[in-house]
């Protein structure tokens, strides 16, 4: 191993970089980009519809934007199950609600005076069987067993040598 700071390539590296300053490199890149695009790149991004749309889609997620949902819900994932908690403060509302699920989402439908349908996406796939639900203190808690038997397919690799 070479002693610290001693490299046989140190002189070659210094001559290659020629004592470049990072600010000079940045200025050079800006000049190349602006000559290729006709104007500076940040101005191009601001005035281009494609970049404006992509920047709007990259806004950080905020729960206030999340939903026009009528029911507040939370979803948790443990090692063996996926748990959905839905706040339903009025117990009489339970008789008008219908609950169902697919391996990928939990569906709540209201068949009462104000019909609506909500779909809550699971963070993992869940099994068809083993679902347990309980309603207490204004909260419906539904526990779904995770789907553990994922199909595995062998891949055969041919040797062309």
Please write the tens of the pLDDT for every residue from 108-125.
998 878 888 999 999 989
Give percent of the chain with pLDDT exceeding 90: 30
Task: Pick the closest to residue 109 from 148, 49, 100, 85 (CA basis).
Answer: 100
**Residue 44 has what pLDDT?**
58
Per-residue pLDDT of the chain (161 residues; tens, 9 = 90+): 556 667 777 777 666 666 677 777 778 887 877 777 665 555 656 666 666 666 565 555 444 444 455 789 999 999 999 999 999 988 888 889 999 999 999 999 988 788 889 999 999 899 988 899 999 999 999 999 998 877 778 888 888 86
What is the number of alpha carbons within 13 Å of residue 53 lying toward its C-beta?
3
Report the pLDDT value the prediction gives residue 133, as an integer from 0 to 100: 94
Distance of CA 137 to the CA centre of its chain: 32
| Domain spanning 63-145: CATH 2.60.40.790 | yes
pTM here is 0.51
The residue ranges of every structural domain in the chain are: 20-57, 63-145
Contacts of 87 (CB under 8 A, 6+ apart): 71, 72, 73, 138, 139
């Amino acid at each position: 191993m070479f002693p610290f700071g001693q490299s046989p390539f140190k002189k070659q590296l210094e001559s290659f970089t020629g004592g470049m300053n990072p600010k000079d490199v940045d200025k050079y890149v800006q000049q190349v980009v602006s000559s290729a695009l006709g104007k500076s790149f940040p101005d191009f991004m601001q005035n281009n519809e494609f970049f404006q749309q992509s920047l709007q889609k990259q806004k950080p997620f905020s729960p206030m934007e999340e939903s026009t949902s009528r029911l507040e819900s939370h979803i948790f994932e443990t090692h063996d199950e996926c748990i959905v908690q839905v706040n339903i403060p009025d117990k009489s509302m339970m008789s008008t609600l219908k609950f169902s699920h697919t391996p990928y989402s939990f569906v709540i439908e209201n068949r009462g005076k104000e019909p609506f349908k909500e779909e809550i996406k699971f963070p993992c796939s869940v099994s068809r069987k083993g679902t347990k639900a309980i309603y207490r203190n204004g909260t419906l808690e539904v526990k779904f067993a995770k789907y553990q038997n994922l199909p595995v397919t062998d891949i055969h690799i041919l040797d062309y040598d």
